Amino acid sequence: MNENDIKEFLNKKQRYFKRRSKITQRVYAKAEEGFDKELEKLVHKIGSGEWDGNSKEVQDARHKLEYQHLEVLREAMLIMVCSLMEEVLKDITKLCVPNCEDEIKGRRGSWLKKHLDILKQKKSIIVNQKEVSFFQHFIKLRNCVVHGGGNVNKSEDAKLQEAISSIQKYGKENGRDMLGILGDGYFWLGRKFIVEVMIKGKKIMEAIFKCLLR
């Protein structure tokens, strides 16, 4: 590929990432809104006396709307955002670094760290390392969902607890309910969690494209 072809490919990937990110963001917002409306209806019926708020059936319905359904949605969104970034970043590295598979062999760390290290070494990209380090916490949670169903006790990653503590600290410092651990070892994701994943992921990818398309 000549330089123009590479630029065209990168521009295409950038448009693809932006489009998929917007779709993911809209779907997530609509789904959250839908669950909020259903919960509002249920609470209204309880308040009006139409439904018995103490009945097991109504309590179960409320629990699902407040926790279970939203937890599944947020875990799915976490996987989607990480997968999109991984897909695009790997495509970029393959294009920009000849024999990138050989370059990756022997490197340690997440897919994000390995590919960014290669692009930094070969293409002098500049990415905010604090953003990258923090996003790697999200990747560890994503791996916990994929390989352990979101149960911290099933994870063999010694640094998972460090990731959890860092995210919880960040949430407290910014007044956001980000992440918690239930008594049975499963974690739950707060309302602002996916928003932060999207924002930080977008910043990382924008920095990469800015460096490569300058």
Q: How far is CA 153 from the centre of its chain?
A: 21
**CA nearest 60: which of 47, 42, 86, 83?**
42
Specify the pLDDT at position 109.
86
Average pLDDT over residues 113-117: 93
- 85-96 pLDDT, tens digit per residue, is 999 999 999 998
Q: What is the spatial distance between Cα 68 and Cα 62, in angstroms, rounded to a whole number?
A: 10
Specify the pLDDT at position 214.
85
User: What global pTM score does this model have?
Assistant: 0.92
- 124-176 pLDDT, tens digit per residue, is 999 999 999 999 999 999 999 999 999 999 998 989 999 999 999 999 999 88
Q: How confident is the model at residue 4 (pLDDT cuts 50, 70, 90)?
A: confident
- 196-211 pLDDT, tens digit per residue, is 999 999 999 999 999 9
Least confident of 67-71, 76-80, 97-101, 186-190: 97-101
Q: What is the spatial distance between Cα 118 and Cα 124, in angstroms, rounded to a whole number?
A: 9
Specify the pLDDT at position 18.
97
Q: What is the spatial distance between Cα 118 and Cα 70, in angstroms, rounded to a whole number?
A: 37
- 51-82 pLDDT, tens digit per residue, is 999 999 999 999 999 989 999 999 999 999 99
Quick one: how many helices (H) and strands (E) in the chain? Answer: 8, 2
Q: How confident is the model at residue 23 (pLDDT cuts 50, 70, 90)?
A: very high
Q: Tell me the fold of 3-212.
A: Glutathione S-transferase Yfyf (Class Pi); Chain A, domain 2 (1.20.1050)
- How far lies 30's CA from each of 24, 33, 34, 67, 77, in Å? 10, 5, 6, 17, 13
Average pLDDT over residues 38-45: 95
Res 100 pLDDT > 90: no
**DSSP assignment of 187-206:** EEE-TTHHHHHHHHHHHHHH
Residues 6+ apart with CB under 8 A from 165: none
